Amino acid sequence: MIYIIRSIVNNKRENKIKWIIAQDDKEFNEKAANQIGFDRSFARILMNRGLIDPKEIEKFLDPRLDDLVNPLSLQGVEKAVSRIKQAFVNGEKILIYGDYDVDGIASTSLLFLVLKDFTSDVYYYIPDRSDEGYGISKKGIDFAIKYQISLMITVDCGISSFSEIKTLRDLGIDTIVTDHHEPPDKLPNAYVMINPKICDYPFKDLAGVGVAFKLAQAIYILLHKKDEVIRKYLDLVALGTIADSVSILGENRILVKYGLDQLVKTHRIGLKLLAESYGDGNLSYSSFIQYINFNLIPVLNSTGRVGHSHDSVDLLLTDSSCRAQFLVKKMLKLNEERKLLTQKTLEEVREIARKENIIKKQRILILASDHWHPGIIGIVASRIMEEFSKPVIIISTSNGIGKGSGRNQGEFDFSKILFDCSGLLIRYGGHQYAAGITIDSKNIDRFNEIMNKNLEQVMPVNLESEPVIHIDTIINYDTINWKLMNFLEKLRPFGPGNPQPIFCGYDFPLSSWKRVGKDEKHLKLVFGNTGTRDYLNGIAFQMAEKSLNFNRNDRINIAFHLETNCWNGNESIQLNIKDIK
């Protein structure tokens, strides 16, 4: 995709924002539009997502469960199911070993419920983030010994646990590893490894819960149980996939689409009570993915950040209303504690970044402190990345060891960049958008130096740290209609790889405006030409001050999402405005 850059400079009280607009190729758009039977602007949105072939477009716009890849084609799955069946027959004890984030929590819950259909001898273990860290831990191995486990199944982890899996093997415990992270050069000597990235499986971007789901599908198929029941777990698959920020394309798009249908009407008592605690009883499919990201996922994650993730697994598994109420109350309290810690850390990180003027000096911001709680550095890294439009690694140090969390907007693949620094790292892992590292504190400065030097070759310079808006296409005011809205609905669910389209419009007729919200920080606008009934409403959050520059009947340039607004049973088109010139 080719981009042209148009920079918009606002008044001194506001940030400069760069609009990056996909370049128009009218001849190509016209040809593609005729080929697939869409308007030119629709064709452009699809092409911006790499969709040109009519068959690919049809599958994208109408994803079906039947289009999922056969789970038996995933290397290692049949061998794993054979070993699991042997455990059922022999009455062996099985341990599911998960991770403390929502992907790991959802993976653990899903596989636990599936195995409970066949045996009562199944346990789960989630490591403590601060005490044990990521992957198989010594405490986890001690747990397996204590409960006489003979088969361990990892979910969302294990691909890098070389020495730990050797220890388990020496103890006579077989390990089935299901993981989705980038594999190291040398793989652990597990009983079997299941990871789409180590074989020729056609879709490489499954989340950890997606890989666990593939194993679950295979268990039902090969053990001759009705595989239709596996659909009841799609809500957990969607939850983990959304939380892990993998691309919402290919199989993930199918799993999330159908999983969201189940999440909206979830039968899980814990999830229901958690959703009700926010007072949103009428969630639509279109609004639910945003609701999950801003409400459900942070609360489920909070247990692993400032508590223990087994509470979140318990919430997903329980069928007791009393137990669920207790857990929701506890988790909401933990989430408030997490928010306070996050805000305090954010302020400290901002101060350090600005005081040392490293924002304009570095391609990636790498900051470390022994004051920062390791459970919230991932959130802080995401926020700092968004604020400064730069990749970030935030490191929490304690007793000479640093635990770091990295985020970027897709400028590079963390797993590949970190490999070049692997000699300085105790442990690392990651993918296109996120990473985790463990490092000796004395190596942090050298790590910072090498990372910034290496990134000179692989990412463009953004020394001014300008916020950026990627725009799909320019549209005219009179082309915003329900036909366009119906097309956008088919593009859902939105997420990495398939972001919600952003449009820009020039000379949109401004009819009226007013400040709204508790502190009048937001701006409500009405667009339309005087004397007509074709009015459109817009909402611009945190942009009230821009109204100081408006005059009646102005024509303004805006960047915006298009949304459906429901009020008193009536639906209308609304512009969710991201920037105003």
pLDDT tens digits for 250-285?
999 999 999 998 888 888 999 989 988 876 544 555
**From 57-66, 142-151, 274-283, 362-371, the region with the lowest mean pLDDT:** 274-283
Sheet with 434-440, edge to edge strand ranges: 365-369, 392-398, 401-407, 434-440, 425-430
| pLDDT tier at 533, thresholds 50, 70, 90 | low
How many Å separate Cα 376 from the centre of its chain?
16
Q: How far apart are CA 7 and CA 468, in angstroms?
A: 9
Question: Beta partners for 576?
Answer: 539, 561
Task: Verify that 523 and 551 share a domain, yes or no.
Answer: yes
Indicate the helix (H) or strand (E) that contains 20. Answer: strand 17-22
Q: In the prediction, which pLDDT does 359 show?
A: 65
Kindly tell me if the per-residue pLDDT of 40 is higher than 80.
no
Task: Kindly tell me if the per-residue pLDDT of 463 is higher than 50.
Answer: no
In this predicted structure, what is the pLDDT of residue 464?
Answer: 46
Residue 54 lies in a domain: yes
Q: Are 232 and 113 in contact (CB under 8 A)?
A: no
Kindly state whether residues 473 and 519 are assigned to the same domain: yes
Task: Confirm whether 244 is domain-assigned.
Answer: no
How far apart, in Å, are the Cα atoms of 523 and each of 16, 24, 469, 544?
19, 31, 20, 5
Average pLDDT, the chain: 87
* Together in a domain, 489 and 376: no
From 431, 455, 479, the end of a domain falls on: 455
The answer to whether 233 and 116 are in contact (CB under 8 A) is no
Whole-number pLDDT of residue 13: 37
What is residue 15's predicted lDDT score, i.e. its pLDDT? 52
Average pLDDT over residues 69-85: 97
The answer as to whether 258 is a domain residue is no
Contacts of 22 (CB under 8 A, 6+ apart): 1, 2, 3, 44, 48, 470, 471, 472, 473
pLDDT confidence of residue 93: 98
Please check whether residue 338 lies inside any domain of the structure. Answer: no
Q: Per residue in 194-236, pLDDT tens? A: 999 999 999 999 999 999 999 999 999 999 887 777 788 999 9
Same domain, 450 and 478: no
Stretch (H or E) spanning 560: strand 555-567
The per-residue pLDDT for 497 is 86
Task: Please indicate, yes or no, whether residues 84 and 224 belong to a single structural domain of this protein.
Answer: yes
pLDDT of residue 9: 36
Rounded to an integer, what distance in angstroms lies between the CA atom of residue 388 and that of residue 490?
A: 33
* Residues 511, 403 share a domain: no
Closest CA to 335 of 346, 347, 343: 343
Q: What is the mean pLDDT of residues 64-79?
A: 96
Instruction: State the CATH number of the domain containing residue 172.
Output: 3.90.1640.30
Same-domain status, 540 and 481: yes
The count of domains in the chain is 3
Say which residue the tokens 């070389």 belong to.
162
- Does residue 34 have a pLDDT over 70? no
> Does pLDDT of 352 surpass 80?
yes
Instruction: pLDDT band for 360, please (50, 70, 90 cuts).
Output: low
Q: What six digits make up the tokens of 83?
A: 């070993």
Predicted pLDDT of residue 518: 81
Q: Is 284 exposed, middle or buried (0-12, 13-18, 19+ CB in 10 A)?
A: exposed
Please name which of 372, 432, 443 lies closest in space to residue 408, comparing C-alpha atoms. 432
Nearest to residue 251, comparing CAs of 263, 234, 271? 234
Which of the four pLDDT bands, split at 50, 70 and 90, describes residue 5? very low
User: Closest Cα partner for 237 from 427, 102, 428?
Assistant: 102
pLDDT at res. 419:
84
Res. 358 pLDDT band, cuts 50 70 90 = low
pLDDT in tens, 124-177: 999 988 788 788 999 999 999 999 999 999 999 999 899 999 999 999 999 999
248 domain residue, yes or no: no
pLDDT over 90 for what percent of the chain? 54
Q: pLDDT tens across 377-433, in order?
A: 989 998 898 888 789 999 999 889 999 999 987 778 888 888 888 889 988 877 777
Judge whether 447 and 425 are in contact, CB under 8 Å: yes
Asked whether the predicted pLDDT for residue 2 surpasses 80, the reply is no
Domain holding 520: CATH number?
Answer: 2.40.50.460
Q: Indicate whether 488 belongs to any domain.
A: yes
Pair (218, 130) in one structural domain: yes
Nearest alpha carbon to residue 144 among 96, 108, 214, 186: 96
pLDDT at 291 over 60: yes
Residues 430, 402, single domain; the answer is yes
Would you say 165 and 188 are in contact if contact means Cβ atoms under 8 Å apart? yes
Mean pLDDT of 276-298: 70
* d(C-alpha 567, C-alpha 553), whole Å: 27
**Does residue 506 belong to any structural domain of this protein?**
yes
Q: Are residues 559 and 413 in the same domain?
A: no
Mean pLDDT of 483-492: 91
Q: Do residues 54 and 78 share a domain?
A: no
Q: Per-residue pLDDT averaged across 464-485, rounded? A: 84
Q: Is the same domain home to 176 and 40?
A: no
Query: Which residue among 203, 238, 273 closes a domain?
Result: 238
180 pLDDT above the threshold of 90: yes
Q: What is the arithmetic mean of pLDDT over 307-325?
A: 94
**Where is the domain boundary, 212, 238, 264?**
238
Q: Say if 190 falls within a structural domain.
A: yes
Q: What percent of the chain has pLDDT over 70?
A: 90
Please, which pLDDT band fits residue 435 given cuts at 50, 70 and 90? Answer: confident
CA nearest to 523, candidates 537, 540, 548, 546: 540
Q: Which domain holds residue 72?
A: 67-238
| Contact between residue 212 and residue 111 where contact means Cβ atoms under 8 Å apart | yes
